[in-house]
Amino acid sequence: MRNKKFITILSGLIVSSLFLSGCKEKNDSSIEKTAERPSVTVGVMEIKPSDMEDYIEFGGSVNAVDTVSVLPNVSGKVAAILVEAGDKVQKNQIIAKIDPSKPGAEFALSPVKASASGTVTAVFPSVGAYVTTSSAVAEVSSTDRLEIKINVSERFVSLIKMNQIAEVTFKSYPDEKFNGEVIKVSPILDPVTRTLQVILNIKDSKNIIKSGMFAHEKLTTEQKKDILALPNRSILYNLGKPFVYQVVEKGGDATASKVEVETGLSVDGMTEIKNGISDGMKIIVKGQNLVSDGQKVKSIAE
């Protein structure tokens, strides 16, 4: 009986020894596998302060600030039109003639004079047409001062303020950028379209912008100076929490180190990092999905 008990205990010790030996070999193998994990080549960006602007985009038509309608003094048929759109005129210059005569009577032609100096932007009637004293014969505009009217959707109304700056571009001049500024904001919304009319002044037309052109505006709504920002693609998430990988260099080796961050404004593929990184840190911006915390890496500047 005693021998049988001894054999049972001995068998248990042998099994335990084999189990522990197997665990040790498994752990050794895991450690060895981690140590032998190959390094990954990644693209890195050194963090430096930069500026960031948020904006909203609109489209609108260019109009002359000063536009006057030229009206005839008498009713009658248009006998002659002496100008066409694009012509420069001086105040009191004759631009058309009206024949006020009626059947059986003769009258001298009545001149129509420009009421202001500027550029003729529109001519309405044709020769032979009948006009009255309330019919505009032409429009004369001062093309030196131009403005853009835009209609802002109700959801953006809270972002619009006087003196806001806008970048203005035109399809006709794709390589040119113009500066605009909000000079008027309507106090009410259009009840039908639910939009707010906003007028921007073009500071310098460079003598190439024309009334009637369609403009594209990027209206700045928020500006941030000297902030730290990263490409959106470099930011990873774990359970909704954002993090990035920093490259830490020590003793000739480089490893990826996980860093939790707090994000802020996001514009044009870049995101502001409020907390977690500092000036001069090297952050992985390419290949970050292929690394894990503590893994060796080979970095290439992006």
**pLDDT tens-digit profile of 233-283?**
999 999 999 999 999 998 889 999 999 999 999 999 999 999 999 999 999
Determine the Cα–Cα distance for residues 237 and 258; give it in Å rounded to an integer. 11
Sign of the CA dihedral running 153, 155, 159, 161: positive
| Most confidently modeled range among 57-66, 101-110, 288-297 | 288-297
Residue type at 55 in one-letter notation: Y
In the structure, what pLDDT confidence band is assigned to residue 33 with cuts at 50, 70 and 90? very low
Determine the Cα–Cα distance for residues 109 and 127; give it in Å rounded to an integer. 13
- Specify whether the CB–CB gap between 194 and 178 falls below 8 A: no
Q: What's the mean per-residue pLDDT of the chain?
A: 87
The two three-digit tokens of residue 241, written as one number: 């929490």
Is this structure's pTM higher than 0.85? no
pLDDT value, residue 184: 95
Per-residue pLDDT tens over the stretch 193-228: 999 999 999 988 888 888 889 999 999 999 999 999
Among 45-54, 61-70, 130-139, 188-197, the range scoring the smallest mean pLDDT is 61-70
pLDDT value, residue 66: 82
Q: What is the mean pLDDT of residues 129-154?
A: 90
pLDDT value, residue 30: 43
pLDDT value, residue 212: 83
Per-residue pLDDT tens over the stretch 267-281: 999 999 999 999 999
Tokens 């752990």, residue located: 27
pLDDT value, residue 31: 43
Determine the Cα–Cα distance for residues 44 and 301; give it in Å rounded to an integer. 5
Sign of the CA dihedral running 84, 86, 88, 89: positive
- Specify whether the CB–CB gap between 293 and 260 falls below 8 A: no
